[in-house]
Amino acid sequence: MRLAFEDVSYSYEGGEAKKKRKGRADRQADWGNAPDAVWALRQVSFAVEPGEFLGVAGHTGSGKSTLIQHMNGLVHPTCGRVLADGRDLAEKGVASDVRRSVGLVFQYPENQLFANTVYDDVAFGPRNMGLDAEEVDRRVREGLELVGLSFDELSERSPFDLSGGQQRRVAFAGVLAMEPAVLVLDEPVAGLDPLSREEFLGLIRELHSDGRTIVMVSHSMEDLAALCDRILVLSEGRVFRLGTPAEVFADAPALKSVGLGAPAPQAFASALREEGFKLDRPLYNEKTLAADIAAQMKGRGGNG
Ligand X SMILES: Nc1ncnc2c1ncn2[C@@H]1O[C@H](COP(=O)(O)OP(=O)(O)O)[C@@H](O)[C@H]1O
8 A C-beta contact, residue 221 and residue 260: yes
Q: Which residue is nearest to Mg ion (CB)?
A: 65
What is residue 189's DSSP assignment? T
Positions in 3-32 near ligand X (CB under 6 A): 12
Cβ distance to ligand X smaller for residue 64 or 208: 64
CB atoms within 10 A of CB 81: 16
Q: Note whether 64 binds ligand X by CB under 6 A.
A: yes
Choose which of 62, 166, 213, 235 interacts with ligand X (CB under 6 A).
62
Q: Note whether 58 binds ligand X by CB under 6 A.
A: yes
Q: Note whether 159 binds ligand X by CB under 6 A.
A: no
Q: How far apart are the first and last CA of the chain?
A: 51
Q: Note whether 66 binds ligand X by CB under 6 A.
A: yes
62 binds, among Mg ion, ligand X, none (CB under 5 to 8 A by kind): ligand X
Alpha helices in the chain (DSSP H): 15-21, 64-69, 94-98, 118-128, 133-146, 151-154, 164-176, 194-209, 221-227, 245-250, 252-257, 264-274, 286-301
Q: Note whether 60 binds ligand X by CB under 6 A.
A: yes
C-alpha dihedral, 258 to 262 to 267 to 273, nearest 10° = -80
Cα–Cα distance, 267 to 284 (Å, whole number): 9
245 binds, among ligand X, Mg ion, none (CB under 5 to 8 A by kind): none
Closest approach, Cβ 107 to ligand X, in A, equals: 8
Cβ distance to Mg ion smaller for residue 191 or 282: 191
60 binds, among Mg ion, ligand X, none (CB under 5 to 8 A by kind): ligand X
8 A C-beta contact, residue 60 and residue 234: no
Choose which of 3, 8, 37, 40 interacts with ligand X (CB under 6 A).
40
Phi, psi angle pair for 156, to nearest 5°: -95, 0
For residues 57 to 96, the per-residue mask of contacts with Mg ion, x marking binding by CB under 5 A and - elsewhere, is -------xx-------------------------------
**Cα dihedral 128, 137, 195, 198 sign:** negative
Q: Which residues bind Mg ion (CB under 5 A)?
A: 64-65
Q: Which residues bind ligand X (CB under 6 A)?
A: 12, 38, 40, 58, 60-66
